[in-house]
Amino acid sequence: MNYLALLGWSTQDSQQLFEKDDLIAKFSIEKCSKAAAVFDLQKLLWMNGEYMRKAPVEKLLELAAQNKLIDISDEKKYNLMKSALALEHEKVKLLTDIPFKTEYFIKEEITYDEKAVVKALKTPTAKDVLSDLSKSFENLETFNHEGLEKICREYATEKVLKTGQIFHPLRVAVSGRAEGPGLFEMLELLGKEKVLKRIKYVLSTQYAS
């Protein structure tokens, strides 16, 4: 409704986002343009993203479930999806983004993006980095983002490596992707067992060379 109203009408200060009552109060037929409107999909996507970011995570999950994009019947998986979506809330523009941004937290087996694998895992240092970090992670009693970041940064200093040489292969190994939420918050949410399992899987395959 917000977007459709702006196709042929505008306020003096070019306001873009309206609550329903605000739009009704300000709208007037006299200010509608006679010129043909331009339907800009990019602007519509931007506007939808603004509304998505304003909506509570619980509401977005409910809407996604109503549209059969996700299943929230399992309480444990629902709580995990809620935490995962909270990490990515600022990047969500469509309801269809939700399954993609949460699935690797839920699934036991994940899909690895080929380009991400080549760029992050097929490097001279990736295999050693993952092997060394997995050993350090195993010894962590409290698997939280502060401790994980400390280990990774100290390892970079010790091995004289750039943080990207550590962060990128680690992200791809545990998520299958080159992009996502904050690395260490993501690792914490995935949990120690899942993180170690995925790193060991990558080390046992052709992904890390």
Per residue in 139-167, pLDDT tens?
999 999 999 999 999 999 999 999 999 99
Q: How many domains does the chain have?
A: 3
State the Cα–Cα distance between residues 166 and 142, nearest whole angstrom.
Answer: 21
State the pTM of this model.
0.87
| Domain shared by 167 and 189, yes or no | yes
| Domain shared by 147 and 191, yes or no | yes
Mean pLDDT score across all residues of the chain: 94
| 46, 72, 106 - which closes a domain | 106
Residue 176: is its pLDDT beyond 70? yes
Range of the domain at 97: 56-106
What tokens appear for 116 in the block? 């991400």
| Domain shared by 174 and 148, yes or no | yes
The 3-state DSSP class for residue 91 equals: helix
| 106, 128, 143 - which closes a domain | 106
| Domain shared by 199 and 136, yes or no | yes
Per residue in 21-57, pLDDT tens?
999 999 988 888 888 888 999 999 999 999 999 999 9
**Strand-pair partners of 36:** none
| Domain shared by 98 and 133, yes or no | no
pLDDT computed for residue 208 by the predictor: 67
Indicate whether 44 belongs to any domain: no
